[in-house]
Amino acid sequence: MISTRRQFIKISTVGLGGAAVAASSLKLAHGTGLFGSDDDEQINDLKNKRFPTYCEVCFWKCAGWTHTNDKGEIQKILGNEKDPHCYGRLCPRGTGGLGMYQDEDRLKTPLIREEKGGKQVFREATWEEALDLIAKKFKKIKADNGAESIALLKHGTPGKHFEHLFEAFGSETVGEPAYAQCRGPREAGFAATFGSWIGSPEPTDIRDTKCLVLIGSHIGENMHNSQVQEMAQAIDNGASIITVDPRLSTAASKSKFWLPIKPATDIALLLSWMNVLIYDNLLDLDYIKDNTYGFEQLKEHVRNFTPEWAYNITNIKPGMIRKTAREMANAAPAVIIHPGRHVAWYGDDTQRERAMAILNGLLGSWGKRGGFYLKEGFKVPKYPHPKYPHPKWTWRDLAKDYPLAGMGLTQEVIRASIPEESGEHKVKAWLVVGTNIKKSIPHQELVNKAIEALDFLVVVDTMPMDIVGYADVVLPECTYLERYDGIRSATNREPSIALRMPAVPPKYNSKPGWWIAKQIGERMGLGEYFNYEDFSEVIDWQLQQIGSSLEEMQAIGVKNLPRKSGSLYFAEGEKVNLPTNSGKIELYSTELAAKGFDPMPLYTPHAEPEEGFYRLIYGRAPMHTFSRTANNPHLTDLKDKNTLWMNPKVAKLWGFETGEEVYLKNQDGVVTSFPISIRVTERIRWDAVYMIHGFGHTNKKLTRAYGKGACDTEMITNVKVDPIMGGTGMRENFVTFIKDSGKETKA
């Protein structure tokens, strides 16, 4: 809409004075808790209400109760005891979820970019105005270039409402960082072996396992709630944990065996484990004969991948490789080689995941107690609407170079938005909802180019994230505590559904995602797709179809439904029947072979740091989700910035001490926007450094998060794309340390 370069706007005009801010913490401190304050008179004051919700602070979607006090203010959020995602216990982020509601830095009213005296600024707008403008622009772009040229980049529950809007106007041009930047490789790797995706929550039977193997997965630092709970149960039960990680992760510290592997060499270790299991005769050959495909080929394939071979590559001693292989075999089939979650590391990630899947296949853990249970979901009936039109092209066309891509590849949508990159420049506009792509997508130079080339960019969010500053129109969504959303239905041991309803009305001038999508739709002449006044009607209709109702769910929050697909595990001796080409567990992948890829995984060496550089590894902290919680007042109390973990040997070499601040510079000469303080610790190898993802926010309007810590994504400019499914491997980036960035330092 503005022809000049798209300048980042720091939302200088935000802040309608109008709406009331949350009671100050001082006032709250006087004691209006659910059970009253510590003052005896207030004990048993149960005049408070609770409203069901499911959490939106991460994708685990734990069901809980939002408690309000007698003044109708949100007091706290507690887990729903019936919920298999949380069993009544939310994680720190879910417990602190009300910080999202309380945050005074929230987006408060729609904003429209305009030019004033040669400068681009945001102007506060009414919803009418903002929505009219979006509809007008979308209609024009649709008329000129086809609806397909408008792309949706999304994450989380609100994404669903916009997906519906997009499909209604004829676009399936969609990208989700949750796939190519995160768990896509494991879905492809496990599907090539067992015929189906792992999905979320992972069907890992951790609570009953005897041996849990984590390949760089840091359960406990990633706070995937029920999974962390089950890991604690496994510890109680005396299960052995084997953790492979160059860093002493929390999980590693709780492990019987920690294998401090040289980064980027996991596949060599996995192959040598196969070698030991097969050549030391540790396997149930009858099971393998009945249930797997390609054992002889695999046996031949791993013949030379001995522990001695792997030792040279991984730095893990042959004795330890043998010992841990035996530990797994002794536990089989109650053993889990965990697929992990964020696994887009080196570009051969599908093959690494294949190796992990093959190990599970050899050990017979698929469909077994203590291995992987046979998950079951529940299909919520679809609210009726007219048929969607057929787009001429979709995300699949953009992902055509990656035969096993199972969801829209965000980076390909981005590439298709840049004339010189795509040759075609197919994508002209974006609607970004619930994902801060300035922090979730590597290779920010491409992202920036795409943003500049766009005709129109709409951002829907609750907070002034980095990406908001680049929008033409900003729409403030209310938080999950203030809205209805679609019924949660996920696969689990037993199917379950959960309701999210508002506990309080939307604060400021914010609106629910469903309302925003409907308003845009109606303005585009798609009213028949949004045949309801309030989204609760949709939910009620859906619930009525399955013999429940909105009223019932408002009272109980979660409903667990009986399994229909049979037993949770295969019976003893029962042969597997899987949706693979062979119907069996494919140790040799017929699908990968047919598509021209290695049918069995191979180890290929990856680049190593040059002198003075260190591999950048990043991960999660249990109290934060991506970059979205970095400004949450409850969670910044726990951790308000990231630090750079550095081995003492490295620190000594550089003369650094804990607390000292440095900028990072990567192999391509890119320097972080902000400095990061060093944490000298024995928990990390000497050839790598580690930091928590999601910090180093550049938007000053995030008053608690701005300039706190550094952003790992800025350092990820070398992207190793997985040729099989298009995952963006991010761990072949190396950093060195500089004291002076040459840039203006933080304010």
Question: 556 by DSSP, 3-state: which?
Answer: helix
Interface region with ligand SF4, contact rule CB under 6 A, candidates 90-98, 113-121, 377-385, 647-655:
90-98
Exposure class string for 162-193: b at 16+ Cβ within 10 A, else e = bbbbbbbbbbbbbbbbbbbbbbbbbbbbbbbb
- With respect to another protein, which residue has the nearer C-beta, 37 or 581? 37
**Entry field: residues in the chain:** 747
Q: What is the number of helices (H) and of strands (E) in the chain?
A: 27, 27
The answer to whether residue 320 forms part of the interface with another protein (CB under 8 A) is no
Terminal C-alpha separation, the chain: 31
* Residue from 51, 60, 287, 603 in contact with ligand SF4 (CB under 6 A): 60
- The least CB distance from residue 260 to another protein, in Å, is 4
Cα distance between residue 270 and residue 354, in whole Å: 10
Q: Per CB under 6 A, which region of 50-58, 389-397, 503-511, 676-684 contacts ligand SF4?
A: 50-58
678 binds another protein (CB under 8 A): no
Which of residues 504, 638, 670, 738 is near another protein by CB under 8 A? 638
Q: Which does 98 bind (CB under 5 to 8 A by kind): ligand SF4, another protein, none?
A: another protein
Spatial separation of the C-alpha atoms in residues 603 and 626, rounded to whole Å: 30
Binding residue count for another protein, defined by CB under 8 A: 62
* Placement of tokens 């929050």 in the chain: 557
Say how many residues touch ligand SF4, by CB under 6 A: 15
Q: Contact with another protein (CB under 8 A): which of 623, 630, 644, 662?
A: 623
Give the CA dihedral 362, 367, 368, 372, nearest 10 degrees: 90
100 binds ligand SF4 (CB under 6 A): no
Per CB under 6 A, contacts with ligand SF4 among 206-245 are 223-225
The contacts of residue 574 (CB under 8 Å, 6+ apart) are: none
Candidates 120-128, 135-143, 222-230, 429-437; binding stretch for another protein (CB under 8 A): 222-230
Q: Using the rule CB under 8 A, is 682 a contact of another protein? A: yes
524 secondary structure, DSSP code: T
The answer to the question of residue 637 lying near another protein (CB under 8 A) is yes
Report the amino acid identity of residue 627: S
Q: Which of 14, 57, 276, 671 binds ligand SF4 (CB under 6 A)?
A: 57
Q: Is 58 in the site for ligand SF4 (CB under 6 A)?
A: yes
Strands (E), 90-221: 111-116, 119-124, 150-154, 174-175, 211-215
Strand order, beta sheet including 558-560: 488-490, 496-498, 558-560
Residue 58: which of ligand SF4, another protein, none does it interact with, CB under 5 to 8 A by kind? ligand SF4
- The nearer residue to another protein, 36 or 391, going by C-beta atoms, is 36
Q: Is 101 in the site for ligand SF4 (CB under 6 A)?
A: no
**Eight-state DSSP code of residue 71:** T
> Considering only CA atoms, which of 2, 371, 416, 382 is closest in space to residue 204?
371
CB closer to another protein, 139 vs 256: 256
Binding of residue 180 to another protein (CB under 8 A): no
State which of residues 334, 684, 688, 689 lies at the interface with another protein (CB under 8 A): 684
How far apart CA 31 and CA 723 sit, in angstroms, is: 57
Please, what is the minimum distance in Å from the beta carbon of residue 238 to another protein?
11
- Cα separation, 474 vs 431, in Å, equals 10
114 binds, among ligand SF4, another protein, none (CB under 5 to 8 A by kind): none
- Cβ proximity to ligand SF4, 195 vs 434, nearer residue: 434
Choosing from 9, 11, 14, 62, the residue that interacts with ligand SF4 (CB under 6 A) is 62
Backbone angles phi, psi at 52, to 5 degrees: -70, 145
Indicate which of another protein, ligand SF4, none lies near residue 43 (CB less than 5 to 8 Å, by partner kind). another protein
Is the Cα dihedral 393, 395, 401, 405 positive or negative? negative
User: Mask 625-644, x = binds ligand SF4 (CB under 6 A)?
Assistant: x-------------------
Contacted entry of ligand SF4, another protein, none for residue 602, CB cut-off 5 to 8 Å set by kind: none
CB of 92 to ligand SF4, least distance (A): 7
* Integer Cα distance of 653 and 614 in angstroms: 13
Which of 78, 90, 212, 662 is the binder for ligand SF4 (CB under 6 A)? 90
How far is 139 from 143, CA to CA, in rounded Å? 6
Q: Which range in 127-135, 229-237, 343-351, 505-513 contacts another protein by CB under 8 A?
A: 229-237
Task: Give the angle subtended at the CA of 446 by the CAs of 442 and 450, to the nearest 5°.
Answer: 125
Q: CA-to-CA distance for 483 and 501, rounded, in angstroms? A: 6
Helix (H, G, I), strand (E, B) or coil at 568: coil
Q: Which does 60 bind (CB under 5 to 8 A by kind): another protein, ligand SF4, none?
A: ligand SF4
- Cβ count within 10 A of residue 351: 28
Least distance in Å: CB of 71 to another protein?
Answer: 13
Distance of alpha carbon 207 from alpha carbon 232, whole angstroms: 8
Annotate each residue in 98-117 with x if it binds another protein (CB under 8 A) or - if it does not, as one string: x-------------------
Tell me which of another protein, ligand SF4, none is bound by residue 604, counting a contact when its beta carbon lies within the kind-specific cut-off of 5 to 8 angstroms: none
Helix, strand or coil for residue 222? strand
Tokens of 455: 């005709």
DSSP-derived pairing of the beta strands 429-433 and 456-461: parallel
Query: Counting beta carbons within 10 angstroms of the beta carbon of residue 16, is it exposed (0 to 12), middle (13 to 18) or buried (19 or more)?
Result: exposed
Q: Among 52, 92, 506, 609, which residue interacts with another protein (rule: CB under 8 A)?
A: 92
The only residue of 6, 50, 93, 186 in contact with ligand SF4, by rule CB under 6 A:
93
Give contact residues for ligand SF4 (rule: CB under 6 A).
Answer: 55, 57-58, 60-62, 86, 90-91, 93-94, 223-225, 625
For binding to another protein (CB under 8 A), which residues are involved? Answer: 25-26, 28-40, 42-44, 75-79, 88-92, 95-96, 98, 220-221, 223, 225, 228-229, 231-232, 235-236, 248, 250, 253-254, 258, 260, 622-623, 633-635, 637-639, 647, 681-686
